[in-house]
Amino acid sequence: MTQSLTIARPDDWHLHLRDGAMMQAVLPETARHFARGIIMPNLVPPVVTGDQAAAYRERILAALPEGMQFDPLMVLYLTENTDPEDVAAAHASGLVKAVKLYPAGATTNSASGVQNFDNVRPVLEKMAEIGLPLCVHGEVTDAEIDIFDREAVFIDRVLDPIRQATPGLKVVMEHITTSNGVDYVKANDKDLGATITTHHLIINRNHILVGGIKPHYYCLPVAKREEHRLALRAAATSGDARYFLGTDSAPHTDPLKENSCGCAGCFTATNTMSLLAHVFEEENALQNLEGFASKNGPAFYGLPVNSDTLTLTKSSTATQFPEKIESQDGPVTVFDPGFPVFWTAT
């Protein structure tokens, strides 16, 4: 028996497109289902000025296949040398929709991130003044802090002090992975939202480590205990408008994932919407999928909901997703949930 659900076309509020040949390969995988995406600025070198963001946007649009429509929403990479006036001008022009905070060394290409948060206070104050959201990679990087505790410590040590010191600053806690993150959002209903990835709704840390190391499940923030995965599923499917989709789809070639120091990231652009339909159905919450994927993010960012639609269809035959996406840089493995999925997105 066929079942279908039509929703407003979704957006991806946390997306890695990379650049060059890799971008050429992965951009169509996102544009097929998503109307807009918050584009991560952690290139090498990072996108730190309005001019660099404008140039990157033009490269993205030039790589978009003919007949596809996609609106890249640009983000500036916050450094201790970021100019508040450049940020304000880029925002006023309509180009830049957010600024990204990476603690130095927290994830892929984050070496230019912030070490001394006092040095970025003028930028944060300007952002609060003009209503420009701050997207945060919420982990501390101290060597003595266990990797599974770094999100919880970041909330207490960094995020809450920043928000207390900068009233009116809109903050997106990106890719939350813990019940601590869920609870912090629940306790703060003003100027705070959180994105949740597809893969963190599906895997816990056992999936990475049990029965051998699974490099294509390794991501940052790393997947946590099962209790945290269940908390994320409850939040995402709850209908609470403070939670919305940010896939953190992060392509790396197989040789970069499958080596002695493999890169962090799960590539989910290809099958995210089908996987979300599966998860929301399991949670008896299909009626809340449109809010999570299509409405809550635009509401937080002050943008209209897309007028186009996406239809999700369930059939009795498992959907076959490609195992890999080929790029001129090498193959990229598509996230495998480890179970059959019967939903397709068109």
Using alpha carbons, select from 52, 72, 51 the residue that is nearest to residue 61.
72
**Mean pLDDT of the 229-249 span:** 98
Residues 6+ apart with CB under 8 A from 241: 291, 295, 296, 299, 300
Residues 6+ apart with CB under 8 A from 9: 33, 34, 35, 294, 306, 307, 308, 309, 310
Identify the pLDDT of residue 113: 76
pLDDT band at 190 (very low <50, low <70, confident <90, very high): confident
Identify the pLDDT of residue 2: 60
Identify the pLDDT of residue 117: 83
Residues 6+ apart with CB under 8 A from 332: 22, 25, 26, 251, 252, 253, 254, 267, 324, 325, 326
CA atoms within 13 A on the CB side of 236: 34
How many Å is the maximal CA-CA distance in the chain? 59
Flag whether pLDDT at 45 surpasses 80: yes
H or E segment at 19? none
d(CA 179, CA 202): 15
Residue 184 CA, distance from chain mean position: 18
Residue 130 CA, distance from chain mean position: 23
List alpha helices for 4-120, DSSP H.
20-31, 50-63, 84-92
CA distances from residue 95 to 56, 76, 89, 118, 226 in whole angstroms, order as listed:
11, 10, 9, 27, 39
Instruction: Decide: 216 and 208 in contact? Cβ < 8 Å.
Output: no
287 class by beta-carbon count within 10 Å (0-12 exposed, 13-18 middle, 19+ buried): exposed
Percent of the chain exceeding pLDDT 90 equals 93
Q: Over the Cα atoms of the chain, what is R_g? A: 19
Flag whether pLDDT at 333 surpasses 70: yes
- pLDDT tens for each residue of 67-125: 999 999 999 999 999 999 999 999 999 999 999 999 876 676 666 778 888 899 999 99
Domain boundaries defined on the chain: 3-345
The DSSP code for 253 is: -
67: left (phi over 0), alpha (psi -120 to 50) or beta: left
CA atoms within 13 A on the CB side of 295: 12
Please identify which residue in the block is written with the tokens 């990106």.
174
Task: Indicate which residue of 19, 189, 248, 336 is catalytic.
Answer: 248
Both structure tokens of 340:
């059959």
- pLDDT tens for each residue of 127-146: 999 999 999 999 998 999 99
d(CA 87, CA 143): 32
Cα dihedral value 97, 33, 69, 62, nearest 10: 80
Considering the chain, what is the average pLDDT of its residues?
96
**Mean pLDDT of the 213-217 span:** 97
Least confident of 52-56, 102-106, 182-186, 312-316: 102-106
Please identify which residue in the block is written with the tokens 């450049």.
86
142 is catalytic: no
**Mean pLDDT of the 12-22 span:** 98
Flag whether pLDDT at 260 surpasses 70: yes
- pLDDT tens for each residue of 284-297: 999 999 999 999 99
- pLDDT tens for each residue of 294-332: 999 999 999 999 999 999 999 999 999 999 999 999 999
pLDDT band at 219 (very low <50, low <70, confident <90, very high): very high
Identify the pLDDT of residue 1: 52
**Mean pLDDT of the 264-293 span:** 98
Identify the pLDDT of residue 92: 98
d(CA 316, CA 32): 23
SS3 state at 282: helix
Percent of the chain exceeding pLDDT 70 equals 98
Check whether domain 3-345 has CATH 3.40.1670.10, yes or no = no
Please identify which residue in the block is written with the tokens 């940052």.
220
